[in-house]
Amino acid sequence: MTQFERRALRARQQRLDRAIEVLKHHPQFPATQVHILESTKVAMAALTETEKQMGTAARLEAVLRLLDMRARDYVELVTSMESQEAFMIVLGELGRQAWKEYTGFHIEMLQPAAGDTQYQTIQCRLSDWIGEGYKRLVPISGAASHIGGHDAGSPQRGVTSSEPADHHPRLDVRDGAQPTTVDIAVITIREDEYEAVLNRLTEPELMKCTHRSYVIGTVSSRTGRPYQVALLRSVEQGPNAGQDAARDIIEDLDPQWLGLVGIAGALPDKDFCLGDVVVATRLHDFSVSAFIEDTEPEFANQGGPMKKEIQDLIALLPALRKELGDWNLETNIGLPVPKIDLRSDRFYGPEQWKRRVKDALRARFGPKAVRQRPIVTARPVASSGSLIKDTEIVEGWRKTARDVAAVEMELAGVYAAARRMVKEYPVLAVRGISDIVGFKRDVAWTTYACNTAASLFVALLHSLPSGTLNPSRQTQLVSGTNNNPTEAPSVPPADRPRVAFREWGRIPDDHSVPIRAGQAGFSLANDGGAAYEVTVEGFVIRASVTARGETISRIAGHGDAFALVWLEGFSPLAIATAKWDLLGAMRDAAGQSTGLYGGPDYSIDVSVTYRNADGSWWFRSMSRLTYIRSQDRLALGPTTHNLHGHTKEAIIAPQHEPNAPTPPTATLEFGWGTGLCQASWPSRTRRRQYQLPPNTSALTCAIGMQPALSI
């Protein structure tokens, strides 16, 4: 087991421990544990000889019965969103246990193959139980009693069947509940494609419709009101499956756009390579072909350009690079760049093709490579019902479509379903490059490409120009009124989130990002409701040296989190450890401002922005980060929570220069070397000034460990 695998195992165990601690608050937790243990013993003793044989269909049925029995007991402990989240973590462990009971091996030792139907059966059962947990949080009285198609007074708890009920929570406008309008519906095929998008959605919820079940989540927009995103996985591959999925989405949800996010293979090109992302400008559909004896294969080039809205967005990609932000950073992709093996036995095809592939790979990964991160490019994409890793077939396609850059299997079906008589739905196809035709790459590139595509897709949604895709505004329809949207309140609700800076330090062991030398950042604490899109804003340390912070999708109510912060412009040698050395950068800035010895401490403003669950309020909390010379350490002052508004733009605060004076009410002066602490109103000296917090009547000033003076 590698060091990273050990850390991942420890982090998973810590998440499970925290989930169990949450469920322990339910008074029935001890009885639940006893019942599970006793029921498991009885069920295991009753297994037939066929059910004891690993890997058989009978064994799978027995494992599913055990899974249902355990999940049915745990779901009774769900009484709040916090306990539902804990239940979902426990379900994940139950799924891992079910795989081990079915195969006889831990999932790390025997990983399921792509499309493994037995593994998918287990995962589908887990999804059903997740929906069952959410149903227990749905009100049964009033307008909400019709959610999910249940009559008022129908019991939502106490399900006694061995499998979850058929209905999942859904929002039905016709019955007066809050409407759910989907802005873009995303189709994925592989499980890793699905998970890459799912992990980047905020507030994911399960919704069952007439034709399919979806996960509905949000992605932030420029306007501050998030986009509603529906996510669907088609378990079958190819254009027929893609067309079927797109048709069901249109009939169930009628989204503004359709999205297709996942992986594709690429033709060798020096401009883009493995891990990069291709956004489709045009479809070349080669699903229709002719294979006649003694003649070369013939292909009909069908398809066409993407709809005008997509073409307009694609044309803006170069102008949107700044708005797209750091989508291609390792911290946002979530995975390091996989290894590349350029040995000669990894290449296939004619010699001329091999040379093209080698040139493309060396341009990206060779010693003279000019970039370290993935890029996004807009190119035509070919689609068919076949997995293409044959150079001759690709060369045949290029005879009628010289501009083909990537190949995949579902876009042709989605494109066909989107073209209807009364309306043509725009299709945004985002494909991460996992293969190069003519090269046998490491399997790790598949997962990496899934995550680069998902990261770019979410960043692209966030940066869409105003008016490109209008984010849905959901309003509560109240019985007995004219159903006009309620005016936005001027004061945030009492349960608003309050994210505060706690301290600066090294990355904790259970952080989800792979550990790198010296990674560091801020520990954040939320003393309020759940906070979403929590972003440590960039700040200037001194001229040419800035710090950038990551975005955390969610911090639970009264929870905490760790946000990575890295430096730009501090180390000319780009040494990895210097990239995270905020203490060194502050020390250096303090020395350049007043000299290495003596002088005041060095301070800068830091801030964090975030929103509430429905995006109706945005907040900015601010603190003062100080380098204390005498102790050579960083300290954070109190966090203020005064800035809020209905859009992110409304909470932009003026940035203070490092050590810029602020209007003082009362200030404290420290006498260097004397240990004196005195108040002035205001100070006219050049010594460091500290502003008293509002409404403060007493403050103790400490020198070292001894109180020097109380004011």
Among 53-62, 455-464, 474-483, 580-589, the minimum mean pLDDT is found in 474-483
391, part of any domain: no
Torsion of CA 399, 401, 403, 404, to 10 degrees: -100
Q: How far apart are CA 22 and CA 82, in angstroms?
A: 7
Residue 428, H or E segment: strand 427-436
- For residues 575 and 707, membership in a common domain is answered with no
pLDDT of residue 139: 58
- For residues 536 and 624, membership in a common domain is answered with yes
- For residues 668 and 538, membership in a common domain is answered with no
Read off the tokens for 480. Answer: 């007995």
- Each residue of 613-665: pLDDT tens digit? 878 889 999 999 999 888 889 999 889 887 888 888 788 755 444 554 333 33
- For residues 95 and 26, membership in a common domain is answered with yes
- Each residue of 33-51: pLDDT tens digit? 988 988 888 888 888 888 8
Q: How far apart are CA 81 and CA 90, in angstroms?
A: 14
- Each residue of 497-516: pLDDT tens digit? 999 999 999 888 777 665 55
Contact 649, 224 (CB under 8 A): yes
The yes-or-no verdict on residue 143 having pLDDT over 50 is no
153 CB-contact burial (10 Å; exposed 0-12 / middle 13-18 / buried 19+) = exposed
Region at 615 (left for phi over 0; alpha for psi -120 to 50; beta for the rest): left
* Beta-ladder partners of 635: 626
235, part of any domain: no
574, part of any domain: yes
Supply angle C-alpha 519, 521, 526, rounded to 5: 140
- Each residue of 270-288: pLDDT tens digit? 899 999 999 999 999 888 8
Query: Which of 497, 503, 537, 507 shows the shortest CA–CA distance to 523?
Result: 503
Q: Computed from CA positions of residues 323, 326, 332, 338, in that sequence, does the dihedral angle turn out positive or negative?
A: positive
Last residue in a domain, options 166, 199, 227: 166
Read off the tokens for 386. Answer: 């076949």
- For residues 646 and 678, membership in a common domain is answered with no
Q: How far apart are CA 221 and CA 466, in angstroms?
A: 9
- For residues 669 and 522, membership in a common domain is answered with no
- Each residue of 286-331: pLDDT tens digit? 888 777 777 777 777 888 999 998 999 999 899 888 888 889 998 8
626, part of any domain: yes
Q: How far apart are CA 139 and CA 152, in angstroms?
A: 10
Beta strand 633-636 with 545-549: parallel, antiparallel or unpaired? Answer: unpaired
- Each residue of 512-548: pLDDT tens digit? 665 555 788 999 999 988 899 899 999 999 888 899 8
- Each residue of 576-585: pLDDT tens digit? 567 888 998 8
Last residue in a domain, options 629, 645, 660: 660
261 CB-contact burial (10 Å; exposed 0-12 / middle 13-18 / buried 19+) = buried
Q: How far apart are CA 210 and CA 251, in angstroms?
A: 9
* Beta-ladder partners of 338: none
Report the amino acid identity of residue 27. P
Q: How far apart are CA 616 and CA 495, in angstroms?
A: 13
- For residues 636 and 538, membership in a common domain is answered with yes
- For residues 650 and 508, membership in a common domain is answered with yes
Q: Computed from CA positions of residues 80, 81, 87, 91, in that sequence, does the dihedral angle turn out positive or negative?
A: positive
Query: Which of 380, 427, 420, 418 shows the shortest CA–CA distance to 400?
Result: 380
512, part of any domain: yes
Last residue in a domain, options 140, 166, 192: 166
Q: pLDDT-derived band of residue 180, with 50, 70 and 90 as boundaries?
A: low
Residue 606, H or E segment: strand 602-611
For the residues of 494-546, what is the DSSP string, one character each? TT---EEEEEEEEPPTT-SSPP-TT-EEEEEEE-SS-EEEEEE--EEEETTEE
- For residues 640 and 527, membership in a common domain is answered with yes
Beta strand 227-233 with 184-188: parallel, antiparallel or unpaired? Answer: parallel
pLDDT of residue 148: 37
> Within its chain, how far is the Cα of 663 from the centroid?
40
| Phi, psi of 45, deg, nearest 5 | -70, -25
473, part of any domain: no
Query: Which of 638, 642, 610, 643 shows the shortest CA–CA distance to 624?
Result: 638
Using the 8-state DSSP alphabet, how is residue 614 labeled?
T
Per the structure, the complete domain to which residue 690 belongs is given by 663-711
Radius of gyration of the chain (CA): 29
36, part of any domain: yes
Query: What is Dmax (Cα atoms) for the chain?
Result: 99
CA distances (Å), 413 to each of 130, 379, 424, 427, in order? Answer: 30, 19, 14, 11
418, part of any domain: no
- For residues 28 and 142, membership in a common domain is answered with yes
Q: Where are the alpha helices (DSSP H) in 214-285?
A: 239-253
Residues, the chain, total?
711
- For residues 562 and 695, membership in a common domain is answered with no
Contacts of 17 (CB under 8 A, 6+ apart): none
- Each residue of 198-255: pLDDT tens digit? 999 988 888 888 889 999 998 888 776 788 999 999 989 989 999 999 999 998 888 9
Q: Quick count: other Cβ atoms within 10 Å of Cβ 4?
A: 11
- Each residue of 689-711: pLDDT tens digit? 444 444 443 343 433 333 333 33
- For residues 641 and 675, membership in a common domain is answered with no
* Beta-ladder partners of 70: none
Contacts of 542 (CB under 8 A, 6+ apart): 585, 588, 589, 592, 593, 658
Using the 8-state DSSP alphabet, how is residue 346 labeled?
G
The total number of structural domains that make up the chain? 3
